Amino acid sequence: MRKHIVAGNWKMNNNLSETQSLITDLKNQNKTSDAEVMIAPSFTNLWHANESLRTTEIEVVAQNMHFSESGAYTGEVSPEMLKSLGITTVILGHSERRAYYNETDESLARKVDAALKHDMRVIFCFGEELSDRKANNQEAVVESQIKNALFHLEADAFKNIVLAYEPVWAIGTGETASPEQAQEMHAFIRKTLEDKYGSETAENVSILYGGSVKPNNAEEIFSKPDVDGGLIGGASLKAEDFYAIVNAF
Ligand code: 13P
């Protein structure tokens, strides 16, 4: 059975002392749902966060990584560097990485391969822009993002892949996809997986929704049958809000 997952993507927020204080607040929250909980601090705070949360239910994950083993890639972080800290899950393909750092389906396919080679779990993000949705082209865009970056994989690889549908127009804008729009797209994504890999693989992959998920809308979004969790930006920066979302399952 697929898992419920709520992951907080901190993006480029929180220095070391802010990280320490948010972690203290997170440790004081009560989890009443069955969701797996993850947080993704910046690279500089991964070690500290992971050490501080080692004995808790919260998994610390990375926001990005390079596909190479090592070498002349100034400013980059390798899979092995993350593994050496005990980090075994990485977010790949976030729309901000695609938009500002020229990440493409092709480079993301290499990152996915590198993560899987290192026995890491991938949270693979994708989603259409506002112009795509206005042109009613969202399904074709999402389908090609998934196919180009993931469909060279064997079915077995999907045991280590979580999908995150994040419509770009809903990220940080306060505008969420309606629960119906999210369900419609998630069902389409699962059907796309089923057509390629069969129903067992498709049924077992968790598909998260991201884009302005807040305590006041999480429950309705999470109630949809193909929405298996959330990738949370802004609301993950406050422990109470984040746990209100975690506990919305
Ligand atoms: P917001 O929740 O701030 O809209 O961000 C969503 C997101 O990009 C998570 O990766």
- What's the pLDDT tens digit per position in 190-210? 999 999 999 999 999 999 999
Q: Name the average pLDDT for the chain.
A: 97
Q: Does 66 participate in catalysis according to the annotation?
A: no
What pLDDT does residue 117 have?
A: 98
172 confidence band (pLDDT: 50, 70, 90): confident
Give how far the C-alpha of residue 50 lies from the chain's centroid of Cα atoms, to the nearest Å: 18
What pLDDT does residue 126 have?
A: 98
Pocket test for ligand 1, best of 92, 221, 231, 241 (most atoms within 8 A of CB): 231
Q: Which residues line ligand 1 (CB under 6 A)?
A: 9, 94, 166, 171-172, 210-213, 231-235
| Percent of the chain surpassing pLDDT 90 | 96
DSSP string, 19-81: HHHHHHHHHT----SS-EEEEE--GGGHHHHHHHHTTSSEEE-BS---SSSSSS-TT---HHH
Task: Please tell me the residue having the least CA distance from ligand 1 atom 2.
Answer: 233
Task: Please tell me the residue having the least CA distance from ligand 1 atom 9.
Answer: 233
- How close is the Cα of 238 to the center of ligand 1, in Å? 13
Q: pLDDT, tens digit, for every residue of 205-216?
A: 999 999 999 999
177 confidence band (pLDDT: 50, 70, 90): confident
Q: Does 166 participate in catalysis according to the annotation?
A: yes
Decide the pairing of beta strands 58-60 and 36-40: parallel
DSSP string, 27-40: HT----SS-EEEEE
What pLDDT does residue 74 have?
A: 98
What pLDDT does residue 144 have?
A: 98
- How close is the Cα of 210 to the center of ligand 1, in Å? 6
